[in-house]
Each structure stands twice: as structure tokens, then as C-alpha cells.
Amino acid sequence: MNMKVIRRPTAFAAVSELRTGMDAILAQLKETPVSLEKHGKAIAVLVDPEKFEAMERALEEASDAALAGEAHRRAKSKGKGVPLTEIEKRFL
């Protein structure tokens, strides 16, 4: 499978710039995420709150889809698992 990695543009800022350039960094968040670096290494990524919430929703939807797929797969393999009533007896 050929997978393409697509990265969104990201701005970079040194941690030391947080004190002096906070307004510019916050303004940049409207356009792109900002990667905070310390000694040349990324230590955090700042993301616009609305974009962050959208990413969380997308991740939750993907997780729900994966769980639904697993539930469907298990339902198709009847008799190969432990019935819920048996699990409830063991743990309740």
C-alpha cells in the first residue's frame, strides 16, 4: 500500500518567544498550528481551540466506527466468544 503523508503547514516558535511574542503566536494559531521548540526539539503543539475540538470529534467518530466494526465482526463469529450473561455471572 502506498501511503502519502500530508502535513499541514506549521509555524515554529522557541519557548523563549512565549513571553515576548505571545500575541504574534496566538495570532498565528488562526492560520496554522504552532510547534513550540526547546533546544531545537518540538515539545508541544499549540492549536486553535475550534480546530482542536474538530480534531477531537473526528477522533471520537473514528474510534466509534472502529468499535462498531469490531462489534460487527464479533457478531458474525457467533459461538466463538463468551456470552454476556456468562461474563456478568463471573464479575458481578
Task: Give the pLDDT band of residue 6 (cuts 50, 70, 90).
Answer: very low
Strand locations in 1-92 (E): 11-14, 34-38, 41-46
What are the φ/ψ torsions at residue 33 (nearest 5 degrees)? -65, 155
The reported pLDDT for the residue numbered 80 is 63
pLDDT digits (tens, 9 = 90+) for 59-74: 888 888 887 777 777 7
Residue type, 27: A
Q: Is the pTM higher than 0.75?
A: no
The answer for residues whose C-beta is within 8 angstroms of residue 74's C-beta and 6 or more apart is 81
Contact 38, 61 (CB under 8 A): no
Give residue 79's region: left, alpha or beta (phi > 0; psi -120 to 50).
left
Task: Give the pLDDT band of residue 3 (cuts 50, 70, 90).
Answer: very low
Q: pLDDT averaged over the chain?
A: 78
pLDDT digits (tens, 9 = 90+) for 35-58: 888 888 888 888 999 999 999 999
